Amino acid sequence: MENKPVRVRFAPSPTGGLHLGGVRTVLFNYLFAKQHGGTFIVRIEDTDQTRFVEGAEQYIFDCLQWCGLTPDESPVSGGPFAPYRQSERKTIYKQYALQLVEKGYAYYAFDTPEELEAKRKQFPNFQYNHQTRHQCSNSLTLAPEQVLQKLANNTPYVIRIKMPENETVTCNDLIRGKVEFNTGLSDDKVLLKADGMPTYHLAVVVDDYLMQITHAFRGEEWLPSAPIHILLWQYLFGLDKMPQWAHLPLILKPDGNGKLSKRDGERLGFPVFAMDWTDPATGNTTKGFKERGFLPEAFVNMLAMLGWNDGSGQEIFSIEALIEKFSIERIHKGGARFDYEKAKWFNHSWIQQLPVQHYAAAVKKYFSDAGITITHTNYFYQVMELVKERCNLLSDFVEQAGFFFQHPTNIDTSAIAAKWNETKQQFFVELMRNLELMSIWNAESLENDFKEMAAAHQLKPGELMLPFRIMLVGGKFGPHVFDIAALIGKEATILRIKHTLQLLAAQ
């Protein structure tokens, strides 16, 4: 196994939005593959056609593209083991299911849905297993000629694995070490459904074998299925062919109680999907990290730190640094709490770190959605540079910088009026005249002139700065006030002072 080229896979079902836990599984697969010069595969597990959702597959690939986690082989890019959709591989699986039946490791089950429902009513918590299989209609209880007759009559059937009654199966998990399972605790899972489609259990084993997967990263919620998969490997291909497994810790709710879900995000007001997902059945849209204003670099960095660290205390990593530093040994066994404030901290850090040109197009869209048209690119960059320190999300730029592009619609005059007097009124009237005459227009000149005028009026500059800020911005926020005036220009500065003075006079 160690000498084989590393091949890892992410195998999502196209049933809806891509949970951040799914993206973290992608990330750990991707980092491991790239670190070892291996291959990262995306395989679509769409065998359950009842759960198939139109558009979900494309959405998955859009999310991965946004994150910069591009697969080497997939239904989109193709590859030597195509097809990469399980629904297109349907004919492959039946032969393996029949092989298991022939060897005595699986059996035909002819029970109708009605019969199974009756069993569930008769026996609370009914499971089709070593204790109940002999009370059901299957090739273990029927005479061989009856089985042949049913097959000849095309009687609907499923193929179930025959789980041993009391055996211990083990695997060496790369995160958890040696893990043991008692086979008697697992039911006889369906391997091949009545429509000829495999279930996940059969398909994942067959596909991992045929696609030569060497390492399988998946969430710890799959641990209960591990004994079934171990036995299928043993029965079909031999355990020496089985990939090395790594069961990743769960991403937990902020309070640490249970797995983070979409409902938690809706309840607490943060996204759990990578990108916006619109349910085609209901038309409801669930917000994603991208649309909320996250940079992909920050999103990926944040996910890497949910359950992993390099031991140095460093938290900000580029994808290149993550590829270099990543190690399975540093993945925690315990679940990782999701902290939205920490997620925003990562985003804030990346907003500071990257040049504004890198994310200007995304920010521009937020302005456009707010009805603000950006026409001068260099001016836009200057404004972004000035306010980026105040932004946790890309969407924050509109609130923090909208006044650079249009006059504020609401002026908080109540914050000025309480300490307003005639002396201050006269100061700002004269300030407008002085500004009109200024030949050098920059922050330093504006500040010097402002302070000299304040001294002449026997006023402290501090008393005047807040009114001046509110005149230009509309409220008590924004970068250095003289930087604002320098950027918006002489005409806009004078107009905004004049407008506020009129509002104060009318009160």
- Active-site residues, by number, are 262
- SS3 of 362-390: HHHHHHHHCCCCCCCHHHHHHHHHHHHHH
- Report the C-alpha gap between 327 and 449 in whole angstroms: 59
- Report the C-alpha gap between 16 and 429 in whole angstroms: 60
The DSSP line for 35-68 is: HTT-EEEE-B----GGG--TTHHHHHHHHHHHHT
Q: Whole-angstrom distance between the N-terminal and C-terminal Cα of the chain?
A: 81
CB contact at 8 A, 141 and 152: no
- Report the C-alpha gap between 472 and 163 in whole angstroms: 74
Those residues whose C-beta lies under 8 Å from the C-beta of residue 287, and which sit 6 or more positions away, are 265, 271, 273, 276
- What is the residue whose two structure tokens read 């991208």? 290
- Report the C-alpha gap between 358 and 486 in whole angstroms: 25
370-383 CB burial, b ≥16 within 10 A, e <16: eeeeeeeeeebeeb
392-401 CB burial, b ≥16 within 10 A, e <16: bbbbbbbbbb
- Report the C-alpha gap between 424 and 7 in whole angstroms: 72
Angle ∠(100,101,106) on CA atoms, nearest 5: 80
